[in-house]
Copies of this chain bind each other. A is one copy, B any other.
């Protein structure tokens, strides 16, 4: 059958929004992307473990996996204070970065129908169309809106009043260029995914592609801290101007005190981890938060990715879930006869997957953040999306 002739608007121009928009456009659908940010996005060097769903579209377009990712041969489990090796499991993951994936998708989509500075403030719908209002005073209309605006989704908030709930911990992120740590430290982390286990929080570290050249990798790490809501969290999330920020405090507006605390806590770590913490040039901090919904289809407005179910990062498949939502939704619009029926089946399957994934990462966090047993190779803690019973609603015919 032929794709829909309806106009589709995607609110949020990050990875899942672009994936949906590209697949729809490829099939001939009239599609626009509305992105809040004044310019194309940056992930500040954030690493991502490659899952098939994440790179599906790029590989279909002939992008070489080698050009956007670096390999690994094992997962390492280490006591981050003593350096004692808890376990090691062979694993051939590949690692990429937000910038590599987003950059590839954005380059394919192009700027023409990617509208920046479009911060959604209003959303209404009738039986035929959805009306959008943006903070720059413009309006737009489409027959369908795909809400792909992430964990702090305005679309979800307008539809359901749901905002993310703080998970009780934050993550510090840092990236190191070659030469910023000694060779032995570099080799300690290269070609591996390394867990640094602690009684109160944990670290992860792995190589990601270089900014210019994938084959000259960088090292990327995260350090998860348990921080109580109230004064402790407020102290960390209040920037140098005295403003309490809701989600992230970037390096250039961190209170110097917090950076000192980051470094001073880092002093107690086993040397390779300590060297990452002390030598990262622009570490920054982000709260970890969850959100969930029990519907993704709201009339003519459809939630996908983090804008639907916002998971914690521990199973390395949040982006994969978002891209799977995007891909399957695009297929509903381009390959199905019964749109309403297909949307319902799509919602059932994707919600099942999203809820199962959220449960999985919550379980992982309850171990990882509190010194619980985190057995090397335990399949319950494996990276990736959980299997769901529902078949994909889309037939590739």
Asked if A387 is at the interface (CB within 8 A of a chain B CB), the reply is no
B residues near A260, Cβ cutoff 8 Å: 137
Is B121 a contact partner of A256 (Cβ separation < 8 A)? no
B residues near A261, Cβ cutoff 8 Å: 137
Which of A140-148, A238-246, A302-310, A339-347 contacts the other chain?
A238-246
Asked if A231 is at the interface (CB within 8 A of a chain B CB), the reply is yes
Asked if A88 is at the interface (CB within 8 A of a chain B CB), the reply is no
Contact of A242 among B36, B240, B257, B258 (CB under 8 A): B36
Asked if A136 is at the interface (CB within 8 A of a chain B CB), the reply is yes
A sample of 10 inter-chain contacts (CB < 8 A) reads A37-B241, A119-B238, A121-B235, A122-B232, A134-B235, A135-B235, A135-B238, A135-B255, A136-B256, A138-B257
Is B121 a contact partner of A238 (Cβ separation < 8 A)? yes
What is the chain B residue whose CB lies nearest that of A240?
B38
A122 to B227, CA, bound (A): 14
Contact of A137 among B138, B242, B255 (CB under 8 A): B255
Given contacts A38-B241, A242-B37, contact A122 B234 (CB under 8 A): yes
Given contacts A242-B135, A255-B137, contact A122 B235 (CB under 8 A): yes
A258 to B37, CA, bound (A): 17
A121 to B244, CA, bound (A): 9
**Tally of A interface residues using CB under 8 Å:** 30
Contact of A231 among B122, B138, B230, B231 (CB under 8 A): B122
Is A135 a contact partner of B234 (Cβ separation < 8 A)? yes
Asked if A274 is at the interface (CB within 8 A of a chain B CB), the reply is no
Asked if A250 is at the interface (CB within 8 A of a chain B CB), the reply is no
Total identical chains:
2
A234 to B119, CA, bound (A): 10
Asked if A355 is at the interface (CB within 8 A of a chain B CB), the reply is no
Asked if A117 is at the interface (CB within 8 A of a chain B CB), the reply is yes
Asked if A133 is at the interface (CB within 8 A of a chain B CB), the reply is yes
Given contacts A122-B234, A231-B122, contact A38 B242 (CB under 8 A): yes
A255 to B261, CA, bound (A): 37
What is the chain B residue whose CB lies nearest that of A261?
B137
B residues near A257, Cβ cutoff 8 Å: 135-138
Nearest Cβ on chain B to A120's Cβ, whole angstroms? 9
What is the chain B residue whose CB lies nearest that of A238?
B135
List A residues 89-104 near B (Cβ within 8 Å). none
Nearest Cβ on chain B to A4's Cβ, whole angstroms? 27
Q: B-facing mask of A104-130, CB < 8 A → 1, else 0?
A: 000000000000010101110000000
Q: B-facing mask of A236-278, CB < 8 A → 1, else 0?
A: 0010111010000000000111101100000000000000000
Q: Which 9 A-B pairs have the closest CB atoms?
A: A122-B231, A137-B257, A135-B238, A121-B234, A119-B242, A36-B242, A121-B235, A121-B231, A136-B257
Nearest Cβ on chain B to A12's Cβ, whole angstroms? 11
B residues near A122, Cβ cutoff 8 Å: 230-232, 234-235
Is A136 a contact partner of B255 (Cβ separation < 8 A)? yes
B residues near A37, Cβ cutoff 8 Å: 241-242
A235 to B121, CA, bound (A): 6
B residues near A135, Cβ cutoff 8 Å: 234-235, 238, 242, 255, 257
